[in-house]
């Protein structure tokens, strides 16, 4: 059985978002396409689905780190 990877940190989330193309330097807010991409990455890597409340709480990179940390830590 493969161990579940730890929740993604800020650098990993930024790396995932780089898959969409260039982000403006210092951009903190997530746009709708970035949020959809991030959710896709989480579903593929961790096999979890995020609910609407969790999605609404992720408007910045730091919000995403916090929410994903909560979700993925409780999922293990």
The DSSP call for residue 5 is: P
Domain boundaries, the chain: 10-20+28-75
Write down the residue that tokens 């830590």 correspond to. Answer: 73
Rounded CA gap, 29 and 45, in Å?
23
* pLDDT tens digit at each of 76 positions of the chain: 567 788 999 999 999 898 888 888 788 999 999 999 999 999 999 999 999 999 999 999 999 999 999 999 876 5
The reported pLDDT for the residue numbered 2 is 62
pTM over 0.95, yes/no = no
The reported pLDDT for the residue numbered 5 is 81
CB burial of residue 45 (10 Å; 0-12, 13-18, 19+): middle
Fold of 10-20+28-75: 1.10.1200
The reported pLDDT for the residue numbered 1 is 53
The reported pLDDT for the residue numbered 7 is 92
């Amino acid at each position: 059985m493969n161990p579940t990877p730890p929740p993604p940190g800020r650098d990993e989330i930024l790396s995932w978002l780089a898959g969409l193309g260039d982000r403006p330097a210092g951009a903190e807010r997530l746009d709708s396409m970035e949020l959809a991409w991030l959710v896709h990455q989480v579903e593929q890597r961790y096999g979890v689905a995020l609910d609407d409340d969790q999605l609404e709480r992720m408007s910045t990179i730091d919000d995403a780190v916090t929410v994903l940390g909560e979700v993925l830590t409780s999922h293990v």
